[in-house]
Structure 1
Amino acid sequence: MAKRASWGETEFYELLCLMMIGVCGWVVGIQLGAFRLLDEVMIDKGLSDIVMLGFFVGIAAFVASVHKSLRLRKAIVERDLAEAKASSVARHDSLTGLANRRRFVEGVDTAFRHGPEGATAAVLLIDLDRFKPINDLYGHAAGNVVLCTVAERLEQVLPPGSIAARLGGDEFAALLPSSIGSEAIARLAQAVITTLSAPISWQSSELKVGATIGIALAGGAVGDAESALHAADLAMYQGKKDGRGTYRFFESAMDEELRARALLERDLREAINEGRIEPFYQPVVALPGRELTGFEVLARWRHPERGVLPPSEFISVAEETGMIGDLCYDLLRRACRDAANWPSHLQLAINIAPQQFQDRWLAEQILAILNETGFPANRLEVEITESALIQDLEATRATLTSLQNLGVRVALDDFGTGYSSLYHLRELKFDKLKIDRSYVNTITMSEERAKLVDAIIKLGSSLGLVTTAEGIECSGSLDWLEGQGCDFGQGYLFGKPMSKAETDRYVENGPAETAARQQIAA
């Protein structure tokens, strides 16, 4: 490959070329006698040739100098434009054209440190709700349209002097000038939520997202961009917990709550790795007759400082952090080993988190555990909550079909509290409906609830599904359920969740003796 000429070599080459052109012009002038007039005024006739040679060479040098100057000016202009473009690219989001994190941080630092005395600038952290399903269902092109539309709407609704930014993914931010006033910030945050929640047209569909906003005001511990973003993030997280589609101002207690959450996540990860989360078992009995038919697996965490923790203390954290898969598979593996020595007619039921049904390898994972432990697939029942049905119906259908092909039974848990419909019951071919305890607890006190439970039992029967009532705690509820034709029952009336040792005694001695022991212990 030939070596590229340097800038100086190129200039020298151009100068030589121009000087040669000048010499050629001088030779042509001599041959044509173009310099005769000059010969008449020159005392030395030969001197005119030298003068004209110098003139032509000088012209060539002058042209070369002008050309060089123009090239330098053009290079400087191109460099300045390139630097300006590079600076713009480095400080703006390439998709939406909004400021990026770097530009936003610079703007926040400037506003917080050099703002007017006593004024209050504010940072809004805006996280889109329901954006991931749009990407999953309609593709990234639709997702990009949503992001660009959100950026346009955000710039339109913010007051003059604000800075709108896209920090990454579906997370946006805004810096509000101190001139807006603290009282107007809440109204503006609500206006942003309303504006961003309006439908977005995409081909023949309407895409809908929402927004949750965290707000941090300058002052106190919030003195720079990083602390402001951290504080706004805590407030936004609180808004997510409170139901999304809302705004929250940062409060110092949120930081303490986040630290506690981080500690819980760390302890939970260690507990899962070290096997400190154990399977407990709650009896399921046939109705009528109350014959033991199996157990539901319930997680219990033996925390070194807080004692035995129920699932409500940690399952949601495991789901949000992606640890639920490892936790569930470990529980299933241990439960299958525990149940291997029980009578062969006893079933084992375990709840699978909605996130796991999006894993195409779920059925294979469960099959591997069954093969590893030697537990028969026809003794296993997988429970799915209604919230899993709205995430990806086709993925859920494929997973359920794979499990049923293995011989695993599938139950729809907490029926009546979520989003399932007759369409779901027909299309997904469940084996069992589980009536939520919130209905069962009140059937003897509310005629309306009793009618609803009766309707669920009759619906299950008409669709060929057996029904299980959860949360049976009194004989009055039990007698009513038996009279309505409910197939199975579960609740404290038959036994509380038990450890393996207690469950083994329950299986061996029967429910009466075990229940008596539990009452004495209570």
Structure 2
Amino acid sequence: MTKATIVQWRKGELYETLCLLLIGAGIWFVGITLGSFDVLHEAVQSYRLGDFMILGACMGVAICGASIRKSILMRRLMLERDAAAANAEAIARHDGLTGLANRRRFLEEIERVRGQLSTELSAVLLIDLDRFKPVNDLYGHAAGNAVLCAVAERLTALLPPGGVAARLGGDEFALLVPLSHGSEGLTRLAQGVISSIAAPINWSQNELKVGATVGVAAVSPDYIDADAILHAADLAMYQGKKEGRGTYRFFRSAMDEELRARARLEAELRTAIEQGAIEPFYQPVVALPDKQIVGLEVLARWRHPERGLVSPTEFIPVAEETGMIAELSYNLIRRACIDARDWPAHLILAVNIAPHQFQDVWLAERILAILTETGFPPGRLEVEITESALIQDLEATRATLTSLQRLGVRIALDDFGTGYSSLYHLRELKFDKLKIDRSYVDAITMSDERAKLVDAIIKLGSSLGLATTAEGIETDASVEWLSDQGCDFGQGYLFGRAMPKSEMDDVLAAVASGKLPAATIAPEAVPREAIITLARAS
């Protein structure tokens, strides 16, 4: 109660008491007037004394009534307060939408169980819904709430005796269950949870479908507190998400170290991007069959202060998952354009753009800004897009590619044969080049089936007016076969590994002087000292 409420209540109490006293005085006055108290006058043998006694009695009855009323009101207020406190406590410990326990109560239950480990073993199942966001986006929050309530009902139905089901927040649920049947029982329960949640949910004449990934951790005294146990289950769940979703994983101590290593990598990568420690390397692209350099593909390399040169396979996926890929890509393109300005004007600079960057409606403008800033001609730039970008948002990708082509930028479809592109995509998006994935090129001289597939891709490109580039060429036999089939360009270790600008400068200078034949441009074919000597001599 606030101070104002107390003052108001006390004023009301005083008013009611005064009213009761006036009622008592009125009863006395009426009784005196009607002679109702004559018998009492005779008993006390004093009219004045009798009047005072009667008045006092009436006032006493009034005060007694006021006290009784006050007691009743106080009792009622106490009951209401206790009910409100109990209701507030229930709300504070339960999820308002599903009625399950909330995170606070769930952690309390884990702590309670930790104190009973000598007599009872338990485990935590952390459940994260898969494909829940599309349901919200497509059908609205009402449908999302219906899914959450249905999931809560299904988890409650699966809950063994003595267990606790909770909604921790968003689309994340948890179960605390006794280990009455050991790890086999936990496995069956986890499988049952995944199967139950995967069943369609009927809502407003629609079938809503979601999935679940489950992480399992045993309640153990080895953990500092309940939060640590929940964190262990979360790590196991995250591992399941990484390995394909719709599955369950038990916590292993190695998972914690893996997560810490990932966190360190993300922090170091962010710093490396900010400080420009990720630099462009260049791999030659040659014309077939004469092997003359016609272009250079830009490949990212990270000069790590402790680990040395880090391969892009280690950090590019992390950059894509964390949203750092855009800044990394634009930095590389800017530096590559500056590097390539002084190279021969016929050399094409090929850059890779991450699939989700094509959903950025300003991508073409950002690339144009870089070209304008560096003074690099748009006609010398080739943007490579992977097939996975085509299925994310075809119309957005089409708009971005069209904008780039209007600038004069060339477009190549990278890693062709490994994704989802179709003849429709090739016709509608008007690519300039197809790049045949190295997984096909590696085996063309050893597998007739792969050779036929590569031959078909080359002929498909030719029929559509598209140039073809074969990636991953490592032998002269592959070059000869690809040239015979009509492949236009080649790229691979046979012609040169990716190298920094300083080495590429030396190679290009030596080739331009005629002292280093194009067929021997690979750094491993000619010692770096010889390249430098030839370049200086020219």
* Superposition TM-score tier, normalisation by shorter sequence: 0.7 to 0.9
Q: Distance in 2 between matches of 1:207 and 1:486?
A: 48
**How many angstroms apart in 1 are the aligned matches of 2:136 and 2:406?**
31
Distance 1:507 1:137 in 2: 54
Question: What secondary structure sits across from 1:410 in the alignment?
Answer: strand
Equivalent residues in 2 for 1:299-314 (5 A)?
299-314=300-315
Distance 2:204 2:407 in 1: 41
Q: Look up the SS of the partner of 2:37 in the other structure.
A: helix
What TM-score do the two structures reach when normalised by structure 2? 0.85
Alignment of 1:439 with 2:456, yes or no, is no
In the alignment, which residue of structure 1 is the partner of 2:350? 349
Report what 2:20 is aligned to.
18
**Could you tell me whether the CA contact under 8 Å between 1:121 and 1:217 is conserved in 2?**
yes
Alpha-carbon distance, 1:298 to partner: 0.7
2:445 match: secondary structure = coil
Find out whether 1:90 has 2:89 as its counterpart: no
Describe the shift of the 1:399–1:99 C-alpha distance in structure 2 as closer, same or farther (beyond 3 A). Answer: farther
Asked if the contact 1:22/1:56 (under 8 Å) is kept, the reply is yes
3-state SS of paired residue (1:300): strand
Q: Does 1:518 align with 2:520?
A: no
My pick for the range that moved more, 306-315 or 251-260, is: 251-260
SS across alignment from 1:104: helix
Report the counterpart of residue 102 of structure 1 in structure 2.
104
What is the CA–CA distance in structure 1 between the aligned matches of 2:203 and 2:383, rounded to whole Å?
A: 38
Shift of 1:369: 2.0
CA distance, structure 1, for counterparts of residue 468 and residue 274 of structure 2? 36
Unaligned runs of 5+ in 2: 512-516, 529-538
- Determine the structure 1 residue equivalent to 2:533: none
CA distance 1:500–1:246, change in 2 (3 Å): same
Q: Match for 2:76: what amino acid?
A: K
**Structure of greater Rg:** 2
Per the alignment, residue 536 of structure 2 pairs with none
For 1:126, what is the secondary structure of its paired residue?
strand
Counterparts of 1:348 and 1:434, CA distance in 2: 15
Superimposed CA distance per residue, residues 361-401 of structure 1 (whole angstroms, 9 cap, x where no aligned partner): 43333233222222233322222223333444444444434
Give 1:299 shift: 0.7
| RMSD of aligned residue pairs (Cα, Å) | 3.1
Q: Against the structure 1 CA distance between its residues 75 and 37, is the aligned structure 2 distance closer, same or farther, given a 3 Å change threshold? A: closer
3-state DSSP of counterpart to 1:127: strand
Indicate if the aligned counterparts of 1:164 and 1:174 stay in contact, CA closer than 8 A: yes
CA-to-partner distance for each residue in 1:334-370, whole Å, 9 max, x for gaps? 1111112223332222222233334444333323322
Q: Distance in 2 between matches of 1:387 and 1:24?
A: 94
- Residue of 4, 7, 10 corresponding to 2:9: 7
Q: CA deviation at 1:244?
A: 2.5
Instruction: Tell me, in whole angstroms, the C-alpha distance in 2 between the residues paired with 1:501 and 1:289.
Output: 25
Structure 1: where are the runs of 5+ without partners? none
Count of residues in correspondence between the two structures: 517
How do 1:41-56 and structure 2 match up within 5 A?
Answer: 42-43=41-42, 44=46, 53-54=55-56, 56=58
SS at match of 2:342: coil
- What is the one-letter code of the residue matched to 1:17? C
2:333 matched to 1:332?
yes
Task: State the alpha-carbon separation in 2 of the partners of residues 388 and 357 from structure 1.
Answer: 7
The one-letter code matched in structure 2 to 1:42 is H
Whether the aligned pair in 2 keeps the contact of 1:115 and 1:178 (CA below 8 Å) is: no
Q: What is the DSSP-based 3-state SS (H/G/I as helix, E as strand, rest coil) of the residue aligned with 1:17?
A: helix
1:456-501 residue CA offsets vs partner (Å, 9 max, x unmatched): 3344445554433221222333333334333432222222111112
Matched AA of 2:409: V
What is the deviation of 1:202? 4.8
Cα distance in 1 between the residues matched to 2:408 and 2:142 = 40
Q: How has the CA–CA distance of structure 1 residues 517 and 470 changed in structure 2, closer, same or farther, with 3 Å as cutoff?
A: closer
**1:428 CA displacement:** 4.3
Matches within 5 A, 1:155-166: 155-166=156-167
Task: Map 1:165-184; keep pairs closer than 5 Å.
Answer: 165-184=166-185
Q: Which residue of 1 aligns with 2:514?
A: none
Q: 1:271 deviation in Å?
A: 1.8
Where does residue 113 of structure 2 map in the other structure?
111
Give the Å deviation of 1:73: 2.5
Q: Distance in 2 between matches of 1:393 and 1:63?
A: 82
C-alpha distance after superposition, 1:42-86 (max 9, x if no partner): 325566765665455445434433432333233222222222222
Q: How does 1:315-330 map to 2 (within 5 A)?
A: 315-330=316-331
Partner residue of 1:281? 282
- CA spacing shift, 1:457–1:39, aligned 2, 3 Å: farther
Pick closer, same or farther for the CA change 1:26–1:360 going to 2, 3 Å.
Answer: farther
- Residues 402-452 of structure 1: CA distance to partner in whole angstroms, max 9, x if unpaired? 434443333332222233344544554444332221122122222322333
Q: CA deviation at 1:203?
A: 4.6
> Conserved in 1, the CA contact under 8 Å of 2:110 and 2:219?
no
CA distance, structure 1, for counterparts of residue 63 and residue 36 of structure 2: 25
2:71 equivalent to 1:72? no
Question: In 2, Cα distance between the equivalents of 1:163 and 1:23?
Answer: 64
Quick one: distance in 2 between partners of 1:64 and 1:8? 13
Q: Secondary structure at the match of 1:114?
A: coil
1:101-500 alignment runs, 5 A limit: 101-117=103-119, 119-203=120-204, 205-219=206-220, 221-222=222-223, 224-500=225-501
The answer (yes or no) to whether the contact 1:352–1:384 under 8 Å persists in 2 is yes
Distance 2:401 2:207 in 1: 30
CA distance in 2, matches of 1:93, 1:445: 62
- For the structure 1 residues 198 and 473, does the alpha-carbon distance in structure 2 shift closer, same or farther, using more than 3 Å as the test? farther
In 2: Cα distance, 1:76 partner to 1:179 partner: 43
**CA 1:492/1:517 → structure 2, altered by over 3 Å: closer, same or farther?**
closer
Contact 2:236 2:249 (C-alpha < 8 Å) held by counterparts: yes
| Cα distance, 1:285–1:445 mapped onto 2, change above 3 Å | same
Q: Distance in 2 between matches of 1:95 and 1:420?
A: 43
Contact residue 493 and residue 522 of structure 2 kept, 8 A: no
> Are 1:112 and 1:223, in contact at CA under 8 Å, matched by a contact in 2?
no
Aligned residue type for 1:150: V
Give the alignment's TM-score, normalised by structure 1.
0.88
CA contact (8 A) 1:280 1:500 kept: yes
- Return closer, same or farther for 1:84/1:242 CA change in 2, 3 Å cut-off: same
In structure 1, C-alpha distance between the alignment counterparts of 2:430 and 2:462, rounded to whole Å: 13
Cα deviation, 1:240-286, whole Å, max 9, x if unaligned, reads 33332222222222233233323322322222222111111112233
Identify the range of structure 1 (45-54 vs 503-512) with the bigger mean alpha-carbon deviation.
45-54
Alpha-carbon separation, structure 2, partners of 1:52 and 1:404: 109
Percent of aligned pairs sharing the same letter: 66
**Cα distance change of structure 1 residues 365 and 181 upon mapping to structure 2, 3 Å threshold:** same
- Give the match's secondary structure for 1:496: coil
